Amino acid sequence: AQQVTVRAPGPAELADSPFLRACRREPVPHTPVWFMRQAGRSLPEYRKVREGIAMLDSCRRPDLVTEITLQPVRRHHVDAAIFYSDIVVPLVAIGIGLDIVSGVGPVIDEPIRTAADVERLRPLGPDDVPYVTEAVRSLVGELGAVPLIGFAGAPFTLASYLVEGGPSRTHARTKALMYGRPDVWHALCGRLAQIASAFLRVQVDAGASAVQLFDSWAGALSEADYREYVQPHSARVLADLAETGVPKIHFGVGTAELLPAMGEAGADVVGVDWRTPLSVASGRIGPDKAVQGNLDPAVLLADPHVVEQHVTRVLADGAAAPGHIFNLGHGVLPETDPDVLTRVVELVHERSAQPVTR
Ligand code: CP3
């Protein structure tokens, strides 16, 4: 079992936060909780500051990034902040033409489908995203003992958007390239691995305390194909981060069959969607990794007693794992009542409270 140490110790309080302790599988005073997509359309204060400003423009404004990242921390008292940005921001930064269309997702001007197209993906450097460095520095100052999670999209998920030209249910063109032109596929993913790795490195160097690698759509693949076509590239991203010492979270949706392979890619914490109970997931992943998840985001649309039942069940199940970070199985749905999110944080903290034995 490898020991994770926090690279820039900063205030001892930060290193000792429940979130970072759980990442390291240490005892916690209460189960830490945060939500994927906690910043965003479920919050009226988010919709207000975003009025008339395009998503990608907002990501390049450190004042807005700082404000939007802090909003859910102030409102819900979550145990971690996640940097407000998007997985496609580093692609825009190297000159790929794309837009984030509301209600749709990223849409690419000229999809990447050939060896010549792959050449358009140049390496990302810190100078390409100065606004990220600035925003992370400002956030770390504001957050104090609350950890900031940096993130990037993993090669497969980024490749899917680039090859399809936008969101896809089947990932058919992506798989056609992967199976039909493995040479082009591996060249593409190699470049995306560098981009993801550099984007994470910028955030960690500016003070992020942990990172999450989002391979949201990896669940579209069989385990054998995941291991052959995807895992080496994601493993490289996570290996590049190893020397920083920050905990690494690896997440995808529909990944029940991939959980061990995603852990083996080099994660300290594996994210689990709502389809697999955390006890089962942890059994598959093994004792040397913590788990994160896995309340169905749609449960938050149900009556309070139903939400409470599900929160209780996730906590009980998570207790079987060597470390548990409470989260949803995927992002907060925009129609979620933010008061329900606040209540879930309170419930998680109350129900899991215990004296720390050190
Ligand atoms: O709170 C947070 O989670 C931090 C910010 C964050 C955003 N995107 C902001 C955002 C994070 C971590 C992401 C990652 C991301 N982006 C992923 C991986 C996570 C996942 O959901 O699986 C993916 C696949 C994307 C691509 C993307 N960007 C999608 C599918 C969408 C939604 C499109 C829509 O309108 O339904 C976006 C846009 C986006 N990214 C929004 C936010 C807050 C909404 C845009 C808006 O508010 O106008």
Please report, for the domain that includes residue 40, its CATH number: 3.20.20.210
Q: Kindly state the percentage of the chain with pLDDT values over 70.
A: 96
pLDDT > 90: what percent of the chain? 95
Clarify whether 50 is annotated catalytic: yes
Name the residue with higher pLDDT: 293 or 3. 293
- Residue 300 counted as domain residue: yes
Structural domain count, the chain:
1
Q: Is 40 annotated as a binding residue?
A: yes
- Helix (H) or strand (E) segment spanning residue 125: none
Alpha-carbon distance of 194 to 161, in angstroms, equals 17
If you take atom 34 of ligand 1, which residue's CA is the nearest one?
103
Nearest to 84 by CA among 148, 7, 18: 148
Q: Which residues contact 78 (CB under 8 A, 6 or more apart)?
A: 33, 34, 35, 38, 72, 345
Q: Determine, yes or no, domain membership for 5.
A: no
* Residue 327 maps to a domain: yes
| Ligand 1 pocket residue status of 255, Cβ below 6 Å | no
pLDDT class of 15 with cuts at 50, 70, 90: very high
Residue 182 lies in a domain: yes
The residue ranking higher by pLDDT, 10 or 36, is 36
Atom of ligand 1 nearest to the CA of 41: 47
Residue 2 lies in a domain: no
Q: Which domain holds residue 166?
A: 12-349
Q: Is 90 exposed, middle or buried (0-12, 13-18, 19+ CB in 10 A)?
A: buried
Q: Is the whole-model pTM more than 0.90?
A: yes
Sign, Cα dihedral of 122, 125, 127, 130: positive
Residue 77 among known ligand-binding residues: no
Quote the pLDDT of residue 320: 94
> Is residue 7 over pLDDT 70?
no
How much distance in Å is there from the Cα of 37 to the middle of ligand 1? Answer: 7
> ipTM, 2 decimals?
0.95
Cβ 86 under 6 angstroms from ligand 1: yes
Pocket test residue of 100, 164, 212, 215 for ligand 1, highest count of atoms within 8 A of CB: 100
Within-domain flag for 358 = no
Ramachandran bin of 105, using left for φ above 0, alpha for ψ from -120 to 50, beta for the remaining angles: left
pLDDT in tens, 249-280: 999 999 999 999 999 999 999 999 999 999 99
The pLDDT of residue 11: 76
In a domain, 72, yes or no: yes
Q: pLDDT tier at 354 (50, 70, 90 boundaries)?
A: confident
Q: Which atom of ligand 1 is nearest to the CA of 83?
A: 4
Q: Is the pLDDT of residue 80 over 80?
A: yes
The answer as to whether 357 is a domain residue is no
Q: Which pLDDT score, from 0 to 100, does residue 9 have?
A: 47
Across the chain, mean pLDDT equals 96
Q: What is the pLDDT of residue 1?
A: 46
